[in-house]
A and B are shown apart, each in its own frame.
Chain A
Amino acid sequence: MPYAMCFLLFMIGLYCAVVKKNMVKIVIGLAVMEYAVNLFLIMLGFRVNGAAPIVDKTCYDPATGRVTAGFLNAAVDPLPQALVLTSIVIGLGTLALLISICIRTYEKYGTFDITQIRKLKG
């Protein structure tokens, strides 16, 4: 169910990016899409009542010298969190570039309406 909601959020962002005529709204749509994907990634690693995935001395089984099964079953998956961090940084870069292009375009055309920004054709 949370996955379905996440996908719905993605579709809302996609709809907004594709259908809206205002450049700023398109940028917002892209940002919503990106947050939906980030949310999806973070949910992949989520566990109810999970433990932080940090291995210390108490996590080792003294008999075998390996990490205990109890820890492995309780710990959340740390990898998606690393992925989301990277993806947020990339998203920041694209968002900054998108907004700066919006500002420069507004200076040139005096409008955010993409139906009026049509010097290119074909």
Chain B
Amino acid sequence: MSDIPLVLPAFVCIPLVAAFLLPILGSFGRKGRVVATALANLAALSLLAMSIASTNQFSVYNVGRWSIPLGINMVLDGFSALFLITVNLVSSAALLFSVRYMEQYTAKPKYLSLFMLMVAGMNGVVLTGDLFNLFVFLEVASIASYALVGFGCDDEQLEASFKYMVLGEVGSMFILLAIGLVYGATGMLNMAYISKAIQNNPTNVVLCFALALFIAGFGLKAALVPFHAWLPDAHSSAPAPISAMLSGILIKVLGVYALVRTIFSIFGISTTVGTLLVVLGVVNMVTGAFLAIGQGDLKRLLAYSSISQVGYIFLGIGLGGALLAAGASPVWASLAILGGLFHLLNHAVSKSLLFLTSGSVEMAAGTRQLDQLGGLAEKLPLTRASCAVASASIVGIPPFGGFWSKLILVIAAIGAGVYWAAALIVAVSVCTLIMYLKVHRYVFLGELSETRQQIKESRGSMAVAMICLACLCVFLGLVFLAPALRAELLEPAAKVLCDGVGYADKIMEFSKDMIVCAD
């Protein structure tokens, strides 16, 4: 316990230092750029190792030794640890992929720098225990992602970036206004203290309005359905590794994590809010799936599929929350939350792998329009195999990870007596199957056109990144049969959400000896 608190700021500091060091290194010619790339990968891998080491622990770090509520604290609990691992896993794979993929762009050190800023922002959002600090990290990650979406400076990328940025900023302003309202109503910015203050005064109108603003703001960031218009544009226009980051983790950290943390740990879940999350989740699932089937662009199809899969996560967590608030069947509630969180992990891995394979296809064939592709199976065997593994996981074919998470969600929904939700989960899975069959049919099967006889499989770091993620898709499915992953990663995370506002007590208990008598 003694050495862990020192590590917490490192999750933000390492990528932040790297972000400012890399462009300087990159200005020393070709060798400098090689060193910068190696250093960025090293930073990402060390973050991954640290996040694996931090599972199943609880620790609080007071930044600058200022005790709460005066200072800012960083909190690592099971729920944060799950997101830390997901973020650093996907970011190290995407960074490895970009070593070779980003050769086609100029200004690679600037790309690496923005990438590291995005990682720093996301790690910060996950670890912070202060509401305004959460907003700051959220903006760091968002601004880096706006710039990365428009990185190529083509017409479409600029258009997508502008659209994404306008909607993202509207969302951020909602969040900032909500934080202001919460501060006005409680006089606190520390999440634990706000939570205490809200429990003492639960029916405050201002706080209800703030909660609504939080749901709208974080919902915009998570692309919940009425606010989803920016996502397909932004995620399909960005360079492939960035699409993998955006779809794999950014919408989950800025949207799902921030919203769930706010609702469960600060405001406390109520039946109304839980039901609202279930409804939003179901609408997302169905709309995303139907819009995805009609797409003719490979990356747009994957982006709409992300909207659909985020719906599953919200369905699981919302169902669990509604059951918890109703006080009925806590077993099914924790199972639903567990299913939602496990689906989040599976979707992060498999969707980022799918976006990486789409980058590999685009690099080899020069287009991502489905009707212009075809017959690539022979030329791109590795890409095809990893795409097949990822699709199988996302559709939910046993024994891949996605099957188990959907199975848990179905069992939880049936156990809780919400049969229509269980039926919808299965039905949307069938739609997902159709859209990924379409991908395989158009991209990999059929006739190879004459002009593409010379195309080559992606090699080097791109291949390694795809193989690693594909192995992970299989591994997540197999390991779930063994209890290790569940006990170390998923159950602590689900427990944090089941405890709800018990979060505050835990933090205060932990930092009791550090709190000074302030009056």
Contacts and interface: CB of A to CB of B under 8 A. Distances in A.
B160 A120 contact: yes
Contacts of B166: 17, 26, 30, 98
B156 A119 contact: yes
Contacts of B173: 10, 13-14, 30, 33-34, 37
A120 B237 CA distance: 9
A120 B146 contact: no
A8 interface: no
A80 to B, nearest CB: 7
Nearest to A27: B166
B514 interface: no
A122 B292 CA distance: 10
A104 B159 CA distance: 10
A1 interface: no
A108 B132 CA distance: 38
A94 B143 contact: yes
B295 A14 contact: no
Nearest to B291: A122
A40 B158 CA distance: 32
B153 interface: yes
Interface residues of B, number: 39
A33 B217 CA distance: 14
Interface stretch (B41-49, B74-82, B177-185): B177-185
Contact of A37 (B158, B161, B180, B297): B180
B184 A83 contact: no
A93 B142 CA distance: 11
Interface centre among B132, B162, B189 (most CB of A within 10 A): B162
A41 interface: yes
Contacts of A97: 143, 146-147, 165
A80 B189 CA distance: 10
Nearest to A30: B169
B232 interface: yes
Name B's interface SS: helix
A17 B167 CA distance: 9
Given A101-B161, A105-B159, A94 B139 contact: yes
B136 A90 contact: yes
B136 A117 contact: no
A109 interface: yes
A41 B156 contact: no
B150 A101 contact: yes
Contact of B180 (A40, A86, A108, A122): A40
B143 A120 contact: no
Contact of A120 (B184, B233, B291): B233
A90 B139 contact: yes
Contacts, number: 98
Given A14-B170, A23-B162, A79-B189, A108 B136 contact: no
A109 to B, nearest CB: 7
Nearest to B303: A122
Interface centre among B156, B159, B166, B173 (most CB of A within 10 A): B173
Interface string A26-54: 10001001100100110010000000000
A37 B179 CA distance: 10
Contacts of B136: 86, 90
Contacts of A86: 132, 136
Given A30-B166, A120-B156, A10 B177 contact: yes
Contacts of B169: 17, 30, 33-34, 94, 98
A109 B158 CA distance: 10
A104 B184 CA distance: 40
A59 interface: no
Interface centre among B159, B291, B294, B295 (most CB of A within 10 A): B159
A83 B158 CA distance: 31
A106 to B, nearest CB: 10
Contacts of B176: 37, 41, 87
A82 to B, nearest CB: 9
15 contacts: A13-B173, A14-B173, A17-B170, A30-B170, A30-B173, A40-B180, A41-B176, A90-B143, A97-B146, A98-B162, A101-B146, A101-B161, A119-B159, A120-B156, A122-B291
Q: Which 9 A-B pairs have the closest CB atoms?
A: A33-B173, A105-B158, A108-B155, A120-B233, A90-B139, A44-B184, A41-B180, A37-B176, A119-B156
Interface of A: 10, 13-14, 17-18, 23, 26, 30, 33-34, 37, 40-41, 44, 66, 79-80, 83, 86-87, 90, 93-94, 97-98, 101-102, 104-105, 108-109, 117-120, 122
